[in-house]
Amino acid sequence: MDRRLVVRVERTSRLRWLRRLRPWLELSARGRAALIVMVLMICAIVGFAAQQVATAPVEALDVAGNIEPARQTFLDFGVTGVVQAVNVKAGQAVQAGAVLAQLDDATLSAQVTQARAAVDTAGLKMRQDAETSPAAQAEAAAVTAVATSRLEEAAAEANLADTARLTELGVEAAQLGLTGGQSAAAAAQVQLGAAQANLVDIQRSAAAAVVAAQQAVDSAAAIGQGAVNAAEVQLATAERNLSDQQKVSQKMVTSSRAGVSSAQATLKADQTTLATDTGTMNSACMGSPPAPPTTGCTSAKETVAADTAAVAADQAMVKTAQAKLTQDQATANQDVNQAAATVANDQATLKNTQIAAAVAVKSAQTTLAQTQAAARQAGDQAAAQLAASQVSLQAAQGEGIGAAQNALQQAQAKGQQSNDQGAAQLAASRFARASAEQALASFPQDALLLQLQQDQDQVNAARSVLAVAQHNASKGSIVAPVAGVVDHVNVVAGQSAGPPAVTTTHAIVLETPDAFQLTAPVRDSVITRVVRGAIVQVTPAGSPQTLVGTITDIAPSATVRSGITTFDVTATFEAKGVDVRPGMSAKMRIYLGAAPGASPQPVPGLGSPLPAPSSSPSPQFPELPTLPGIPSPGALPEVPSLPALPSNEPPLPSLPPLPSP
């Protein structure tokens, strides 16, 4: 990655961090200290007034068993009461988490209300005991003064650390700016060299392109002229061939005509001789009365017969000579026409060659003009880029580096001033803290702390009763652990119902063809801590995945195996996306003693813990800093996680801050 880009990204990240920190740093040191003191006071008051029964991390019990199909799941209420509503009927399909039936919660709600009133009464007594003692109020004020001074000291230390960090970041940012300016100048120098080299390359390339285009023009002209010359030679040859063919044809036709004339002259001479000899024969052979044939007559007849045969032969020769003349004339015409067609084709070829040569030369000339224009444009652009690079280099070397150097000097001076102010403020805060600690040490110990501790124990006991009442109230509903179809509903509204130990039949039977069950023995020493609806984690043998389910059945009677008393506990779960088969062995982790609002601790090897079944998440309080010389937040009464209360309940009364026991 380019170094300039890395510097820019780092600089942007640091400036963004400074912008986020600015609203906090713009507060004065006293304002930040007052804000921290206010948080500490609120947490201390809530810690004394709203103490919940301490809950240990949720424990887990690991057992093992075999997986079987959960064709039926038996569901019952966790407490005894009167059925208020039945929300399903036989044959109805339900989803996991659906509320199937509910008990009348009037009694349970009354117990919760009574327990909550006891909590309010205990808290009110604790506040009255704290408010009726002037010494307690003065001591509480001294504790608050110590806490305030400690927090102001911590705020001063944080302010000094923040100021030093901001000074460091400011100087570093200015240094980065200077480095960035120097990098920009170096980059501008590199860019200038690149622009100069680019201009030279473009000029060379343009000159080579123009030369190549001119050579293309010359080549096109030479090639076109050669083609035209070849076409002209070919046309001249065709014209000579036409002239020669005309002469040959004329000579052949003249010879054929002479043969016809000669044959006709011979025919005519033989016809004249035939006529003469016929007259002689008539004279020799005719008389009145006819004379007997003589030798002269016979000879005359023979002569006439010979003349007749000669005339017939001459006539045949005339026809033959005329036929030859006709054929020679046709042949002469065909040869002359072919020669003339060749001349016409060569004339057309010459014309097309001339046109093509002109077009090729014109195209090459156009390309030459375009190449010259492109070369001029590229040269102008490269020259403009070179000028811009020169301007950028001058700006980077002048204004950029100078401004960055001034910013670095100002950041160093301002940072030193801020550090000096922060150190002075820290010294004043330390003096105030020492004075407040000395004032607090002058207060004598009395019996007020013991009384407040007893009041706190009463509050804790009342909250324990309230937690149990709320937990019992949560058992007054039957919730489908998995999806299925209702098979039997054995309760109706108005009927008394309770756990399996109270009733002889199960309240609701659920057909769950897609679910599985795992039954495992649990020792009698811990069975009382296993409750229906508790969360379990099932890990099939050979599988890295963990399946989540709930306890749906606890055997009412014990089973003795090898001298050990155990109770069978059954959990129901779904195995979506996991290859689970009946009969497979599996491990099951059961979470024990999960009070309302508690969450299970992380279990090694099983990933993130699952939340314990409870009402709603507990509120979280801010963590306080540990200050030497006064009780730390860990030494003060624990800021508890409270169980969820109905939204219509009034909040507990707040109490003033008290010293730690």
63: domain CATH number is: 2.40.30.170
pLDDT at 395: 79
Residue 468 lies in a domain: no
pLDDT confidence of 260, banded at 50, 70, 90? Answer: very high
> Are both 259 and 354 inside the same structural domain?
yes
Instruction: Mark which of 408, 424, 440 sits at the end of a domain.
Output: 440
Judge whether residue 13 has pLDDT over 70: no
Selection from 29-38, 471-480, 598-607 with the highest mean pLDDT: 471-480
Please state, in angstroms and as integers, the Cα–Cα distance from residue 386 to each residue in 188, 199, 373, 391, 392, following that order.
11, 8, 20, 9, 10
Residue 371 is part of a domain; what is its CATH number?
A: 1.20.1270
DSSP code, position 525: T
Cα of first residue to Cα of last residue in the chain, in angstroms, is 62
Asked if residue 270 lies in contact with residue 315, where contact means CB atoms within 8 angstroms, the answer is no
Q: How many domains does the chain have?
A: 2
Specify whether 404 is located in the same domain as 538.
no
Same domain, 357 and 210: yes
- How is residue 635 written in tokens? 């030494």
Q: What is the mean pLDDT of residues 598-611?
A: 36
Q: Does residue 191 share a domain with residue 308?
A: yes
Q: Give the residue among 35, 161, 37 at the shortest CA–CA distance from 432.
A: 37
The 10 Å Cβ neighbour count of residue 24 is 11
Prior bond to 633 cis, omega within 30?
no
67 plus 141 within the same structural domain: no
Tell me how far apart the alpha carbons of residues 237 and 249 are, in angstroms, rounded to a whole number.
18
pLDDT surpasses 80 at 388:
yes
151 vs 473, more confident:
151
Task: Please identify, among 528, 561, 591, the residue that sits at the C-terminal boundary of a domain.
Answer: 591
In 10 A of CB 216, how many CB atoms?
18
Among 518, 528, 526, 529, CA closest to 64: 518
What is the tens place of the pLDDT at every residue in 311-362?
A: 999 999 999 999 999 999 999 999 999 999 999 999 999 999 999 999 999 9
Mean pLDDT of 285-306: 76
Q: Which helix (H) or strand (E) holds 547?
A: strand 547-554
Q: What is the pLDDT of residues 410-468, one digit of tens each?
A: 888 888 888 888 888 889 888 988 888 887 777 665 556 777 788 888 898 988 888 77
pLDDT for 58:
57
Q: Give Cβ neighbours of residue 300 (< 8 Å, ≥ 6 apart).
A: 277, 280, 281, 283, 284, 285
Q: Given 560, 591, 622, which residue is the final one in a domain?
A: 591
Position 568 confidence tier, pLDDT thresholds 50, 70, 90:
very high
68, 149: one domain? no
Residue 45 lies in a domain: no
Q: Which residues pair with 550 in a beta bridge?
A: 535, 572
- pLDDT score for 6: 41
Q: What percent of the chain has pLDDT over 70?
A: 76
- Judge whether 106 and 619 are in contact, CB under 8 Å: no
Reported as a single tens digit per residue, the pLDDT across 496-542 is 888 876 667 889 998 887 789 999 999 999 998 898 888 999 999 98
Enclosing domain of residue 583: 58-74+511-591
